[in-house]
Structure 1
Amino acid sequence: MKKNWKALVAIAAVVIIVAVAVVIINMRPAGQAAQPEPGGDSSIVAGKFGFPVSKISIGEGGTKKASDGKTTTGYNGTCDSAVQAAANYVPLFIDVNVKTWADQKKTLTGVSQPGPWFEKATYKGDVVANTKEFPAPPFDGGWYGRSDVAAGGMYRVASCEEKKRAVVQVFTGGVEARVNEAPSGFFQTLTLELSWDSDWKISDAAVVQKGEDFGDRVKDGGPMSVGTLMDMNEEATPVLRNELVNAFFENKSRDGWVEYANAKRQ
């Protein structure tokens, strides 16, 4: 009987301890809840300038190459792949080399759908490649303009429906020839509409900040460096600094902008 009594006392003690533990856990403030394990979605991590950072990298995605042997194609139709395609297609608009323009224009044709946008997008390259008197002298072996997508390193998805249509804005850097001066770095937003045709194909494109129309498909034209003094003493395309970002985004919404995982930052 004495042994049974001791066993009952021990069981009762365990029950009391468990009950107290449950009460303490339930009374714990919500702010003290267990934190999620590291390694979750990196898009919730803020970058240097306060924008979320994506897992998506410039140069990735796709399973094939276009006719130039370097532009990535063969996407799977997800919205993430549309973001990848947009970044990878940007050089086809900005890069202009007098020696390779004809091949580049052919590549752009292969990854796009016909439309009035195409003539605007290729006008500068056509002028440079087909005239003996350049608007500005080429640099570094025939370059008139050269992109640096990672220097801008941001994107905003205005809309997307998988394997149908996506509107993606890409903030890119670059360097461009100038008349009677050294080449100059710049930043601008290129807005792309991608339509699905067994792959993401460009169906419209515009630099809205330069007055090119994109209807009401985007919130605004996105950031641009025009009118902002940039120190060009060290690099052709400067690495973004906080004061530059603030200047570029003046009167522009920051909502929805995300950094690519491999964006260049100081």
Structure 2
Amino acid sequence: MNNSKPLVVITGASSGFGAEMAQLFNKDGYPMLLIARRVEKVKELPLNFDNVMVAKADVTDKNEFEAVIRDAEAQYGPTDLLVNNAGVMLLGNVWRQDPNEWQTMLDTNVMGVLNGTQIVLNDMMKRQHGTIINMSSLAGKKTFVNHAAYVASKFGVHGLSETIREEVSDKNVRIAMVAPGAAETELLTHVTDNEALDGYQEWKDSMGGITLDPVHVAESVKFIYDMPQEVNIREIDIAATRQDS
């Protein structure tokens, strides 16, 4: 077991950005806590699991979320990096979308980030060392048709991240964001509005049918973290070159 490096915690680690991040940090020898609802998918990743803990937890349940982090910290030491990556994107128009879908996005995309941040932040401030990287979206900076509630949640991530960054900067704690554009992930698999899905596919086809490879988003996260603690790359916006919006 290699404990020479500090603990990295990644939520939403079963696929997409989270799975790619897990592989990058694993190659670099970091002990990790990989949190997901589908732990069986995490265990299928090509990782060296010698210093990796995999835990099932819902980020909207703060007690459950905190319990798995404390278990990992008991084994690997304090969390030095938390990547709040877990998120959901449910497309639809406000006039016909099920409000339960709005609540799901707000709970996961906003409350999940706040929960994770509060769980690790006090210890980071005491140590005057640590990094929290919140996965937002270009939809946290601009609007997209059929994305109203999702946009609201990601504007929330942008707002809370910048506010907390200001609040803890004098404690030498870094709060950063990565805001991807459209990417080849599983985010769309839970969309229930077929018309919105068709519109998204038409938009994707207009870009040549291929969006951003998640590995480059993971590389952006690691680039932020690999900077010295006294350097904070506050935000990276990343998208496929052909994405024009």
Superposed pair shares fold, TM > 0.5: no
Q: TM-score, normalised by structure 2?
A: 0.29
Structure with a larger share of its residues in helix: 2
User: TM-score when scaled to structure 1?
Assistant: 0.28
More strand by share: 1
Q: Which has the larger radius of gyration?
A: 1
